[in-house]
């Protein structure tokens, strides 16, 4: 089962335009996609990738301080917990509107 699948043009518009990598606490960064994947019956989400857009409009890969979330439930709460450790106001990144999951 998949939530928030990519559009037909996502790779052309975003993925193929990426030229740099930044941390998730980069000032002004907006998250455009956080892709979480898992297997049916496995209790955790693995991070496949995270893409963002800088103030300049440039797309980038985003380095997260984790590569796996501990539970499939309460994704937002887990992201907030990680962000607080780094004094990041995560809601300002727009991440909650751009989470995509695939549980195959």
Domain map (residue ranges) of the chain: 2-103
Average pLDDT, whole number, for the chain?
Answer: 95
Residue 20: burial class (beta carbons within 10 Å; 0-12, 13-18, 19+):
exposed
User: Is residue 70 scored above 90 in pLDDT?
Assistant: no
Give 103's strand partners.
Answer: 38
pLDDT of residue 100: 97
CA dihedral of 16, 20, 24, 27, whole degrees rounded to 10: -120
What is the CB-side half-sphere exposure of residue 24 using CA atoms within 13 A? 28
The answer to whether 88 and 24 are in contact (CB under 8 A) is: yes
The answer to whether 53 and 96 are in contact (CB under 8 A) is: no
Under the banding of pLDDT at 50, 70 and 90, the label for residue 30 is very high
For residue range 2-25, list pLDDT tens digits in order: 999 999 999 999 999 999 999 999
**Alpha helices (H) in the chain, listed in sequence order:** 10-13, 75-85
pLDDT of residue 68: 95
User: Is residue 47 scored above 90 in pLDDT?
Assistant: yes
pLDDT of residue 89: 96
User: Is residue 43 scored above 90 in pLDDT?
Assistant: yes
């Amino acid at each position: 089962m998949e939530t928030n699948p990519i559009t037909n043009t996502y790779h052309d518009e975003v993925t193929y335009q990426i030229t740099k990598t930044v941390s998730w606490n980069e000032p002004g960064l907006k998250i455009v996609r956080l892709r979480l994947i898992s297997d049916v019956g496995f209790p955790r989400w693995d991070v496949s990738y995270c893409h963002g857009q800088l103030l300049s409009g440039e797309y980038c890969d985003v380095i997260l301080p984790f590569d796996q979330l501990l539970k499939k439930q309460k994704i937002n709460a887990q992201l907030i917990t990680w962000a607080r450790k780094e004094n990041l106001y995560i809601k300002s990144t727009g991440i909650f509107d751009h989470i995509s999951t695939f549980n195959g």
